[in-house]
């Protein structure tokens, strides 16, 4: 019957290629971390983009683990926290492979990993928070440009470039940055098991190379993306597995 008929080429492929049921998924996080992808930047990491990639994981049968490949100088702290939460909530192990750069927000999202790998020269850490608010009132005045606005609320004009930053507004900004900085350090402390004092010593925006980060405990191991995948398979005792690269569904 037709049920017992198979094309000779399909049969040959089945003989040559063992059926691999278990899967390890690789998700790429490349570029600056932004909240909104409509910024004119063709390559960016956003919560929406990562959420879509994680959604694709549900289509993979027998998913055993996820490798997150990070190559990012950082960016939006809020976006980094949202992405950190997404990977922290996955029901399978997450290993992180850091590329040439995993700094600031890039390192932040890496803290969702059960194990963290870096190359020897990976720019790592930069545990800190920076905020810049351009103020152009004086320069605009020199050019004869004036601006008026209607605001409601004590700090509603904080980000208005035509309004000078008051002492009270500057203090509010410093407080907000300190809260974000402390949250960042808490994520690192939880993941790395390092004391708060040591975290502060390694933080303050300092940048480390991968081998230095390994020495002080900011990463687990030196290794490439392939090394990370192979070690995950070994840790999970996978005898036969396939690697699935996850991309955003354009349909």
The residue whose two tokens read 């909530």 is 89
Question: Which residue among 79, 97, 104, 126 is the active-site one?
Answer: 104
Q: Which of 201, 225, 6 is nearest to 95 (CA)?
A: 225
User: Could you give the CA distance from residue 208 to residue 214 in angstroms, rounded to a whole number?
Assistant: 9
User: Could you give the CA distance from residue 106 to residue 70 in angstroms, rounded to a whole number?
Assistant: 7
∠ CA(77), CA(178), CA(198), 5° rounding?
Answer: 95
DSSP labels for 43-104? S-B-HHHHHHHHHHHTT-TTEEEEEEEEEE--B-HHHHHHHHHHHHT-SS-EEEEEEEEEET
Active site residue 104: yes
**Which active-site residues does the annotation give?**
104
């Amino acid at each position: 019957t037709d049920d017992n008929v198979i094309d000779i080429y399909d049969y040959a492929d089945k003989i040559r290629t063992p059926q691999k049921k278990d899967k390890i998924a690789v998700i790429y996080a490349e570029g600056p971390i932004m909240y909104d992808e409509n910024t004119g930047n063709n390559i960016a990491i956003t919560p929406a983009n990562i959420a879509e990639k994680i959604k694709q994981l549900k289509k993979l049968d027998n998913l055993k683990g996820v490798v997150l490949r990070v190559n990012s100088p950082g960016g939006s702290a809020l976006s980094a926290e949202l992405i950190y939460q997404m990977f922290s909530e996955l029901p399978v192990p997450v290993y992180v492979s850091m590329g040439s750069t995993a700094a600031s927000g890039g390192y932040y999202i890496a803290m969702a990993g059960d194990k963290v790998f870096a190359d020897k020269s990976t720019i790592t850490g930069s545990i800190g928070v920076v905020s810049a608010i351009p103020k152009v009132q004086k320069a605009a005045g020199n050019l004869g440009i004036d601006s008026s606005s209607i605001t409601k609320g004590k700090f509603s004009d904080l980000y208005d470039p035509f309004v000078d930053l008051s002492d009270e507004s500057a203090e509010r900004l410093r407080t907000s940055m300190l809260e974000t900085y402390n949250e960042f350090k808490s994520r690192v402390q939880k993941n790395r098991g390092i004391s708060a004092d040591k975290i502060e010593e390694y933080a303050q925006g300092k940048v480390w190379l991968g081998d230095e980060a390994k020495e002080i405990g900011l990463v687990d191991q030196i290794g490439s993306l392939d090394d990370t995948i192979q070690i995950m398979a070994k840790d999970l005792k996978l005898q036969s597995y396939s690697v699935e690269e996850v991309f955003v569904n354009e349909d």
